Structure 1
Amino acid sequence: MKKILNFVIKVSSLLSYLYDRVLAFFYKASMKHCGKGVYIRPSSSDFKGLWNMSIGDYTSIPKGSVFFCTEAELRIGKKVIFGPHPTIITGDHRIDVVGKYIMDSHEKLPENDAPVVIEDDVWTGANVTILKGVTIGRGSVIAAGAVVTKSCPPYSIVGGVPAKVLKMRFTSGEIKEHERMLYGKTKS
């Protein structure tokens, strides 16, 4: 009986994997830009605004991701890795309309939406939320459970609710050496 159950589980996993591969082809083609080697799991994620989403080479986006970017761009750099269940939202609802329920206030103002930029070589832990108008600097680490409402500098380690810079990954000398080794020169 265990052999049959294990076989059914393996077949189910294979079917899920194949379904995601087919769906990923169409999702990637619908994006503003999708680099090579990008890993996504669209059947178990919720992506809104694919036309406004750009993802760089070799980025990995796990199942359970929620990315909403209908009115403002979401740009994710190269070699970015997400822990389980990330949420990125580039917009808000209006909350200032007198005489209407929030749900019924469909007209947006420019300040209700702002792009999110995640630069290259970023790692976000499990259950991270990144909200409108945030830029996460290259090489940063976002701690599990963080709610990021403000931009953070390159090579920072960020955590908390709301998130704040906890410390830097490297000293300024180590950053220069790191970038020389990765990019062949010092990036600005």
Structure 2
Amino acid sequence: HFLNTINKIIRWGPQLTLVPSYLYDKLLAFFYKGAMKYCGKHVYIRPSSSDFKGLCNLSVGDYTSIPKGSVFYCTEAPLIIGKKVIFGPRPTIITGDHRIDVIGKYIMDSNDKLPENDASVVIEDDVWTGANVTILKGVTIGRGSVVAAGAVVTKSCPPYSIIGGVPAKVLKMRFTPTEIEKHEKRLNNTQK
């Protein structure tokens, strides 16, 4: 009986070491969610192992999951993430650029941004991005889209597209127009 108990402790030991970081994340998430422009219900974030800038410009919809290792920089432009969006490990989303056109100044010293240096990023509902995806300013990812792992998204894509590559482009559509209609009708019926 004693050896059984010892074996259980040894087996569960590695999982038990995760408890403090889990509890710390829960506490931090409470404050991060409160600092966001909007945070829906049942949003999952891991702030202790992520890098969020400009939380006041970040909106996240219901049931969205943002993993550890996320880098979300909301500059002067908003980042709007819809509901039921899932991200693979280590997504990077940036809503702005540095100025590179100022003669006689280092890029780092050019603090006077122009309106065109920042642009919103919108990720509509039901989007899945794979691991290590980068999404840059001015992009809208249409609802129901899939972004392949490692993609660098610099242009918007229509709903239900599958995009990938560097720079990312539409590879194919998830559904035919008839299937999209059927899919959306079923989604609307389950939400009532």
Aligned-residue CA RMSD (Å):
1.6
Q: Which runs of 5+ in 2 are unaligned?
A: 1-5
Paired AA for residue 129 in structure 2: T
1:115 aligns with 2:120: yes
Query: Aligned pair 1:129/2:134, yes or no?
Result: yes
Aligned equivalent of 1:67, options 55, 59, 72:
72
Kept in 1, the 8 Å contact 2:75–2:94? The answer is: no
The one-letter amino acid paired with 1:175 is: I
Report the more deviating stretch, 5-14 or 103-112: 5-14
2:189 counterpart of 1:162? no
| 8 Å CA contact 2:79, 2:95 repeated in 1 | yes
Where in structure 2 are the equivalents of 1:41-56 lying within 5 Å?
41-56=46-61
Please state how far the C-alpha of 1:8 moved relative to its aligned partner: 4.8
For residues 42 and 153 of structure 2, what CA distance do their matches in structure 1 show?
A: 27
| The one of 101, 104, 107 aligned to 1:102 | 107
The aligned runs of 1:28-39 (5 Å cut-off) are 28-39=33-44
Deviations, residues 91-142 of structure 1 (Å, cap 9, x unaligned): 0000000001101111100000000000000000000000000000000000
Aligned to 1:76: 81
The number of aligned residues is 185
Secondary structure (helix, strand or coil) at the match of 1:10 reads: helix
Distance 1:11 1:170, change over 3 A: same
Q: State the structure with more CA Rg.
A: 2
Aligned residue among 25, 31, 38 for 2:30: 25
Q: Which of the residues 126, 134, 139 maps onto 2:144?
A: 139
Counterparts of 2:152 and 2:141, CA distance in 1: 12
Q: Distance in 1 between matches of 2:73 and 2:7?
A: 41
What do residues 1-23 of structure 1 show as CA deviations (whole Å, max 9, x unaligned)? 98776555333201110000000
SS at the partner of 2:164? Answer: strand
Match of 1:149 in 2: 154
Structure 1 residue 145: Cα displacement? 0.2
The TM-score normalised by the length of structure 1 is 0.94
